[in-house]
Amino acid sequence: MKDRFNLYRFASPATFYPFAGTLIPYFVAVSVVFGLAGLWLGMLVAPTDFQQGEGYRIIFIHVPASWMSMFIYLVMAGWAAIGLAFNTRLSGMMAQALAPTGALMAFLSLLTGALWGKPMWGAWWVWDARLTSELILLFLYIGYMALTAAIDDARRADKAGGLLLLVGVVNIPIIYFSVKWWNTLHQGSSVNLAKSSMATTMLWGMLLMAMCFWMYSIAIALMRVRTIMLERERHTDWVKAELLGKAGDEK
Amino acid sequence: MIHWNSFSDFVAMGGYGFYVWGSFGATVLIMAIEPIVVARNRKATIARLKRQLRAETRNTAE
């Protein structure tokens, strides 16, 4: 039994904490490699777009940031569901650790969208279904953070925040399918499983940048969750040992 | 292989320089600042928890 790999072991903060610590440098390294490869392909190799000229290159930031803003929310909602169903300690911490990065991704999506919209549509902002639902996503992130910060008891904060996350999850398919369901100014999806409308180098540049953003998000969330763990578990023996031992020496 | 003829072409981005570099600049800024904020917060939290722990152990020893 002992040498069998047990996933549940990592549900305990005491085991997850050092495990996360060893993983962070790898995620950072992989993120940098993907980022450099994606920038090289997207900014140096990929051809000019026949409709949008060089302005389309915003896509290499805009699409990865938008994907991550939606994906991080889904992961948080997943953690919320697990936390509410099984009352696990780790899930609330994970949702907490992901929220600021998700909010930043939603913000980047809106900002780069505005910088893209201005030259292509002639407007920084329009109240179009895609843009509006993404703005609501940003507000959901901010609402989650404000709500959990306002409740002193961490477990109750997790429960209230978790409910907000689960209710708000309805917004994700709305964002994703908005360009299909409504007539929007926002262009349709450029990536399809069957046939992509993009040049190969453009597509690969975008996918590499998406991987870079993904790995970055994991790394930063793991960094954040380790601090949250110390804070929340400060009365446990393992945190005391950690604080008296090596925690002060490492970054 | 490289799409650009000159460095100034690359910077100009076919007239979209402000929008393209604005997007990339904002992203680089956020991805540089976020880890710094997280790391500083971590340091401050560890220092505070250590202080609290030392104060607790002193109190129980007395």
pLDDT per residue as tens digits for the range A134-148: 999 999 999 999 999
Q: Can you read off the two tokens belonging to residue B15?
A: 């007239």
Termini Cα distance of chain A: 36
Q: Could you give the number of structural domains in chain B?
A: 1
- By CA distance, what is B1's nearest residue in A? A45
Q: Can you read off the two tokens belonging to residue A75?
A: 């992961």
Most confident of A1-5, A246-250, B23-27: B23-27
Query: Is residue B5 a part of any domain in this protein?
Result: no
Average pLDDT for A197-204 = 83
Contacts of B10 in chain A (CB under 8 A): 43-44
Look at residue B3 in the predicted model and tell me its pLDDT. 87
pLDDT tens digits, one per residue of A148-164: 999 999 999 999 999 99
Q: Which of the pair, A11 or A31, is modelled with greater confidence? A: A31
Look at residue A251 in the predicted model and tell me its pLDDT. 44
Residue A219: its H or E element: helix A200-232
Which ipTM value was assigned to this complex? Answer: 0.91
Select the residue of A57, A107, A231 nearest B13 (Cβ to Cβ).
Answer: A57
Q: Return residues 23-62 of B near A (CB < 8 Å).
A: 23-24, 26-27, 30-31, 34-35, 38-39, 41-43, 45-47, 49-50, 52-53
Decide: helix, strand or coil at residue A125. Answer: coil
Chosen for mutation from A115, A218, A228 (greatest number of chain B CBs closer than 10 Å) is A115
Q: Can you read off the two tokens belonging to residue A99?
A: 């929220």
What A44-49 contacts at long range (C-beta under 8 Å, 24+ apart), as own/partner pairs, is A44/B2, A44/B3, A44/B4, A44/B10, A45/A201, A45/A205, A45/B1, A45/B2, A45/B3, A46/A199, A46/A201, A46/A202, A46/A205, A46/B3, A47/A199, A47/A201, A47/A202, A47/B3, A48/B3, A48/B14, A49/A202
Q: How far is A172 from chain B (nearest CA, A)?
A: 23
Query: Is residue B55 a part of any domain in this protein?
Result: yes
pLDDT tens digits, one per residue of A88-117: 889 999 999 999 999 999 999 999 999 999
- Say if the Cβ atoms of B16 and A53 lie within 8 Å: yes
- Say if the Cβ atoms of B35 and A243 lie within 8 Å: no
Helix residue ranges, H only, A87-199: 89-121, 129-150, 154-168, 171-181
Query: Is residue B1 a part of any domain in this protein?
Result: no
Average pLDDT for A230-246 = 89
A32-55 burial by CB neighbour count: b if 16+ within 10 A, else e? eebbebbbebbbebbeebeebebb
Residue identified by tokens 């039994």 is A1
pLDDT exceeds 70 at position A3: no
Query: Is residue B57 a part of any domain in this protein?
Result: yes
pLDDT tens digits, one per residue of B22-53: 999 999 999 999 999 999 999 999 999 999 99
Average pLDDT for A19-43 = 96
Domain, as residue range, for B36: 25-62
A157, with CB counted inside 10 A (0-12, 13-18, 19+), is middle
**Using 50, 70 and 90 to split pLDDT, how confident is the model at A199?**
confident
Q: Which of the pair, A116 or A4, is modelled with greater confidence? A: A116
Of the candidates A144, A138, A174, the residue with the CA atom closest to the CA atom of residue A160: A144
Termini Cα distance of chain B: 74
Residue A31: its H or E element: helix A13-39
